[in-house]
Structure 1
Amino acid sequence: MKEKLTKVLPETLEVIEDPETAPKKRATYTRIVEGITTTLKTIEDPKTPPKEQATYTRIVEGITTTLKTIEDPKTPPKEQATYTRILEGITYTLENIQNPPLPQGNPPQEKRAHHTRAMELATTTPVTVHAPNLPPAERATYMRIVETITYTVNKIQTLPQEERASFARVAELTTAALVAVQAPKTRPKDPEDQLAIEKTVKETGNTLAATQEPKASQKERNEAKKKLDQRTRSLQNSQFLELMKEVKRHKAPAACIKEIKSRTLQTGWSDGSLWGLGDSLCAATVAEGARQDSGRWSALFECVQRHPFSTCVVHIPKD
């Protein structure tokens, strides 16, 4: 891993330091390098359990491989952008798993020092880090998802170009869901909903990995791919379309509609759709739907308004 890092990181740092690099790209690359730096500290901390050290090592190796693909001029720009967004999500999760969070808004001289430490950590000594604040079960879930996504993205990069797009798209959506389920503004407010969405994201990650698992049978890989195809077509699901008609009938604001569509793409029908519907952006729409006692969807709206949205699936009209 250290040998790979010493080859890839200098190229990444050159992009960061290049005055012609777009500010957004520079910020993204800086955050990724900082994520690698912090994770290397965790790996080399003697207090980190051996099993976690091994997991973090595999994650960093995966990040490094993907960075190399991003920086390869032969990689199509669209793929570079997709892989970059995936690494952003992975880095965000690593920040949450490891405490304290990565520094933000560093002045240039501090950024340069941070980059230097990344190179040093690729070849030298352990550094003590603080214990994470996340509950053990939640940390374990996020670590497993990140490892799965990283593994799969690396496998995807070896596929023929015509096969990569669909798998990369699911990986990107799954990473986006992983970020959303953690971020304070988007994570489900109810612990029951939080666990339900985490479970869905984990299952999607495992399904994605199954499509690239060499030990899986062709039948198993085909079944996994079929599940992923259904996920990417979630916005065409007939029940989802009926829900959207009902939401629009109650004059839902554009932000609410966007939220429902976004969560549906990320975690599917019906988990993602109810997650979006339960967002504060849709509160007025849900309240209006719940008031209409005679409506086919009123029971669902009332449930989402009063209870964890993950318990409301039973109220989705069957016909």
Structure 2
Amino acid sequence: MQIDLKEPVPPPGDGEPVPPPPAEEVPPPAEEVPPPAEEVPPPAEEEVPPPAEEEVPPPAEEEVPPPAEEEVPPPGEEEAPPPAEGEAEAPPGEGEEAPPAENPVPPAQTPDEIKAQVQAGIAGSNLSAEDKAKVQKSLDDVLKILNDGGASAEQKAQAAAIATGLGEALRLSKDEGTSKADQERYAKLAVGLSEAMQKANDPNLPIDEQDAYYEVFLDLNDILAGLTAENLTPADKIYYSKWADLLLGGLLAVQQPGTAPTEPEDKKKVQEQLKKNSAALKTYQNPQASDDERAAAKQTLDEQAAAATSDKYQELVTELKRLKAPQACLDVVQNRTQQAGWPDGSLWGLTDKSCAATVKAGAADTNSDWSALFSCVTTQAFSTCTARIPE
């Protein structure tokens, strides 16, 4: 039986191919040794069965299969025979393509690259000079960590993540494909992240306040990650956007002069509410939370979102309108209610300077059921005035 010698056969492992011994002395094994007459290596002694007559297989012409396709793959398709000794291995691209790298990881940015990216975002943003300074201060703090030889790898990774969040928020705040409302939200996220980070590291604040700001900072980071996720659904976008607005509004209002509650107990009450909302948001996002935990968190979030539509809140708004409250007063009461809920958020709103004349007039109108509440808000901590709300 003639075998085409041009058919590719894997070369022997050592040395040049050697013709097999005569067929009558050592018959080729039927299953283990390919049949080519000239390129088959001599079988090892331990593998050669004794030349006993009873073990000699039938002639090769009958049972030796032709060069099977599964044993000798065509070149270039599945397996290529290894190069012979001294023969250079063909580099990828000559005859076949090299497989693509699996899950390529983008190279980490250097501190200088991070600085240039975020500073470009700051310069190109519509932020006020004051807000730009806040974001720049956060960037400076991040760069100190990234350039600190004594900082741990974990600290540097966290700092780089903060810088990435700032840069992404600033970029989206100017993205032409982003709606105006979303652009404003991303700009507020950049400022809010900066303020929360600075407050969380302010040695002049009590430890519990620093911790509260740190939690808000983490939540804002999570919200930004959610809003920029590739698989963001419309429902998720509404959810994250709503809570970004509420957390940002609460954060800014609690710490800014002129809007922060003046009485310590009031400030504590508002911060506790914001912390409760943050915890509920975190639980609702957590895929490992139980169904009961997620249900309780959702109830908290739904109640907070619905605070400005409650019957009692609407009655208060009706009374404010009767007293001819300016739109600025109505807006701030609504915002505070959305941020800190009913009734604490609403009463907090009444202490705003835009409502001062309206509240004074309401307190003087003793014929109104709301007079006692207005009087209490002007003289006491608003968190102690809930009992004065008309039934």
For the criterion TM > 0.5, the same-fold answer is: yes
> Does 2:108 correspond to 1:3?
yes
CA distance in 2, matches of 1:138, 1:154: 24
Q: Do the aligned residues in 2 keep the contact of 1:208 with 1:224 (CA within 8 Å)?
A: yes
> Does 2:193 correspond to 1:90?
yes
> Does 2:251 correspond to 1:146?
no
CA distance in 1, matches of 2:149, 2:343: 44
Q: Which secondary structure state, in structure 1, belongs to the residue aligned with residue 375 of structure 2?
A: helix
Q: Do the aligned residues in 1 keep the contact of 2:138 with 2:197 (CA within 8 Å)?
A: yes
CA distance in 2, matches of 1:179, 1:66: 17
- What TM-score does the superposition give when structure 1 sets the normalisation length? 0.73
CA distance in 2, matches of 1:245, 1:56: 53
Q: 1:313 is matched with which residue?
A: 386
Q: Which has the larger radius of gyration?
A: 2
For structure 1, the 5+ residue unaligned runs are 100-131
Q: Which amino acid aligns with 1:149?
A: L
Q: Do the aligned residues in 2 keep the contact of 1:59 with 1:150 (CA within 8 Å)?
A: no
Q: Do the aligned residues in 2 keep the contact of 1:290 with 1:298 (CA within 8 Å)?
A: yes
Q: 2:135 is matched with which residue?
A: 32
Task: Note closer, same or farther for the CA distance 1:314–1:182 as it changes in structure 2 (3 Å cut).
Answer: same
Q: 1:108 is matched with which residue?
A: none
CA RMSD of aligned residues (A): 3.4
Q: Which amino acid aligns with 1:199?
A: E
Q: Which has the higher helix share?
A: 1
Q: Which amino acid aligns with 2:380?
A: H
> Does 2:164 correspond to 1:64?
yes
Q: Do the aligned residues in 1 keep the contact of 2:134 with 2:194 (CA within 8 Å)?
A: yes
Q: 1:137 is matched with which residue?
A: 208
Deviation by residue 1:194-227 (Cα, 9 ceiling, x = unmatched)? 1111111111111111221121123432432343
Q: Which amino acid aligns with 2:138?
A: G
> Does 2:294 correspond to 1:221?
yes
Q: Do the aligned residues in 2 keep the contact of 1:152 with 1:208 (CA within 8 Å)?
A: no
CA distance in 2, matches of 1:25, 1:307: 35
Deviation by residue 1:119-172 (Cα, 9 ceiling, x = unmatched)? xxxxxxxxxxxxx22222222221222123323432454332332122222122
Which one is further off, 77-86 or 38-47?
A: 38-47
> Does 2:348 correspond to 1:275?
yes
Displacement after TM superposition at 1:27 (Å): 7.6
Q: Which amino acid aligns with 2:167?
A: L
Displacement after TM superposition at 1:43 (Å): 8.5
> Does 2:316 correspond to 1:240?
no
Deviation by residue 1:101-132 (Cα, 9 ceiling, x = unmatched)? xxxxxxxxxxxxxxxxxxxxxxxxxxxxxxx2
Q: 1:107 is matched with which residue?
A: none
Task: Note closer, same or farther for the CA distance 1:68–1:280 as it changes in structure 2 (3 Å cut).
Answer: closer
Q: Compare relative contact order (CA 8 Å, sep 6+) and give the higher one, 1 or 2.
A: 1
Q: Which amino acid aligns with 2:204?
A: N
CA distance in 1, matches of 2:129, 2:362: 45
Q: 2:38 is matched with which residue?
A: none
Q: 2:336 is matched with which residue?
A: 263
Q: 2:119 is matched with which residue?
A: 13
CA distance in 2, matches of 1:46, 1:307: 52
1:202-213 equivalences under 5 Å are 202-213=275-286
2:358 pairs with one of 275, 281, 285: 285
Displacement after TM superposition at 1:38 (Å): 1.8
Between the two proteins, what is the percent identity of the paired residues? Answer: 29
Task: Note closer, same or farther for the CA distance 1:70–1:284 as it changes in structure 2 (3 Å cut).
Answer: closer
Q: 2:144 is matched with which residue?
A: 41
Deviation by residue 1:282-314 (Cα, 9 ceiling, x = unmatched)? 222222222233422122112112210011112
- What TM-score does the superposition give when structure 2 sets the normalisation length? 0.61
Q: 2:375 is matched with which residue?
A: 302
